Amino acid sequence: MADPVLIWIRLNIVRPHDSIQKVSGMVWLCVLLAVTALVAIAWLIKPEHVGTRFTRTPPVVARVNAPSADAKPEMLLLKLPTGDQYTIPPGSRGHFILVFDWKVPVRIKGKGVVLTVPKLSTTDFASIPRLLHSLISPLNNTIYAAILHDYLYRDPQDSFASSLDRKTVDRMFYWGMRARGVWRPTAGLMYLGVRLGGSSSYKRSVVLR
């Protein structure tokens, strides 16, 4: 029969390893439950409908790389094949610009209108943290809705576009994704993200009453 002291020592050596496995299992279980709960919440999200229809003509964009810190003024001037010129803001991150005007028919509360996203408008598509790119790619069917959403958030000069409040713009983002076939939980998560974290990006030069 083994000495009781030796048994106690052996158990002390084995148990930490078992504890680590149990803690690891509990962590993964909690993560799984959290993700499941988040997907369930996203599935249940369904904001008031906004009719958003994208035409067969896709938006044409040009990539703009982030300029270096010592870039000279002439290096910040981007000349497009259309003859248009775009000045890259110093210190800006990589982004995209529209090469041509892009028209998007929408219907809000029974009123139909065609929004025009003007050329040289900027977008970074859907601002998804890199950690989540494996789950939600910013380069998928969310692009169309993201371009429209970025334009409507960034102080549009069109009178109708500038009259849209943030809540309506976010609803257009959700229904624009759904119109492009984005999975409902994905659209719900993206919508939840802009509702919770988009207030600082919403710009208006004129206060809406």
pLDDT band of residue 122 (cuts 50, 70, 90) is: very high
Q: What is the pLDDT of residues 68-79, one digit of tens each?
A: 888 888 889 999
Question: Residue 173 is encoded by which pair of tokens?
Answer: 């983002």
The residue extents of the domains of the chain are 1-44, 51-201
If one counts every other C-beta atom within 10 angstroms of the C-beta of residue 144, the result is 21
pLDDT of 49 strictly over 60 = yes
Q: What is the pLDDT of residues 2-47, one digit of tens each?
A: 454 444 444 455 555 566 666 677 777 777 777 677 667 766 778 8
The closest of 62, 120, 69, 63 to 90, measured between CA atoms, is: 69
Q: Is-contact 154 203, C-beta < 8 A?
A: yes
The closest of 150, 165, 173 to 206, measured between CA atoms, is: 165
State the pLDDT at residue 8: 45
Contacts 24+ apart (CB under 8 A), 126-135: 126/190
- Give the per-residue SS3 of 94-160: CEEEECCCEEEEEEECCEEEEEEECCCCEECCCCCCHHHCCCCCCCCCCHHHHHHHHHHHECCCCHH
pTM across the whole model: 0.76
d(CA 53, CA 58): 12
d(CA 90, CA 69): 8
Strand 102-108 with 111-117, pairing = antiparallel
Strand partners, 103: 116
Residues counted in the chain = 209
pLDDT band of residue 139 (cuts 50, 70, 90) is: low
State the pLDDT at residue 208: 46
